Copies of this chain bind each other. A is one copy, B any other.
């Protein structure tokens, strides 16, 4: 009975993290070139084994921090992948997370430069093979992000504190893979009253500078209490 019970304790758990960034044009994901077997030299999601005494959530945060130096960023669990055959070296389940970071804050930690951590356009990565079942994991995270970004104000996590409405629109378009109508997008976002008009403008651009805004999370929370329905649905705003 006891030995029977113990026989179950032979799994390993990893956390794999789909780190999304946005460079003003495209949605990007951070991949690492594997330096060990299996899948040596293939591109893979950053991930690690969970340690014996470590909470799952802590493990996800640790990976992100070790790699990027960033703490307290947006991090969400998506799905656990547990096919018996998914890891050639044993029974390893992986819990997939995705995180949203401001790509400008980001700086790869020296320890990882050797492992070649690189940003890829999401649209490109979908065409190239990845280690393990990481392609499936990536797709699951993209799908989750698409759903979530429409109904939760998480898109702002990918932008600098100060941003223009054009940048925000570009972000939504690259996540949702859909063109949006400029005027309707502005109208909708501004009508929610969740942005602070910073009374500042872009500088150094070769055209009329755009106004800068920031996301007012306190106000957002108050409005949600009052029944605000955050919803950026692209069928509603096709260009």
Interchain CB contact (< 8 A) of A77 among B79, B90, B229: B79
Bound complex: CA of A77 vs CA of B52, how far in Å? Answer: 24
Q: Is the interface of A mostly helix, strand, loop or mixed?
A: loop
Known: A80-B56, A83-B56, A229-B235. A50 touches B11 (CB 8 A): yes
A59 — which chain B residues lie within 8 A by C-beta?
82
A82 — which chain B residues lie within 8 A by C-beta?
13, 50, 55-57, 59, 95
Question: How often does this chain occur in the complex, in copies?
Answer: 2
A83 — which chain B residues lie within 8 A by C-beta?
55-57
Q: How far, in Å, is A128 (CB) from chain B's closest CB?
A: 26
Q: Name A45-62 residues within 8 Å CB distance of B.
A: 49-57, 59
Instruction: Evaluate contact between B56 and A9: CB separation under 8 angstroms.
Output: no
A50 — which chain B residues lie within 8 A by C-beta?
8, 11, 82
A205 interface residue (CB < 8 Å to B): no
A-B contact pairs, 14 of them (CB 8 A): A5-B89, A8-B49, A8-B51, A9-B11, A9-B12, A9-B91, A11-B50, A13-B13, A13-B82, A54-B84, A55-B83, A56-B80, A56-B93, A77-B79
Number of A interface residues in the complex (CB < 8 A): 33
A72 interface residue (CB < 8 Å to B): no
A95 — which chain B residues lie within 8 A by C-beta?
80, 82
Bound complex: CA of A217 vs CA of B118, how far in Å? Answer: 44
Q: How far, in Å, is A65 (CB) from chain B's closest CB?
A: 18
Residues 65-103 of chain A: 1 if any B CB is under 8 Å from the residue's CB, otherwise 0? 000000000000101111110000111010100000000
A204 — which chain B residues lie within 8 A by C-beta?
none
Interchain CB contact (< 8 A) of A8 among B7, B12, B80, B81: B12
Instruction: From A5, A8, A12, A57, name the one whose CB has the most chain B CB atoms within 10 angstroms.
Output: A8
Interchain CB contact (< 8 A) of A84 among B49, B55, B90, B227: B55
Query: Smallest CB-CB separation from A1: which chain B residue?
Result: B36
Q: How far, in Å, is A91 (CB) from chain B's closest CB?
A: 6
A52 — which chain B residues lie within 8 A by C-beta?
7, 10, 84, 91
Q: Name A1-57 residues within 8 Å CB distance of B.
A: 5, 7-13, 49-57
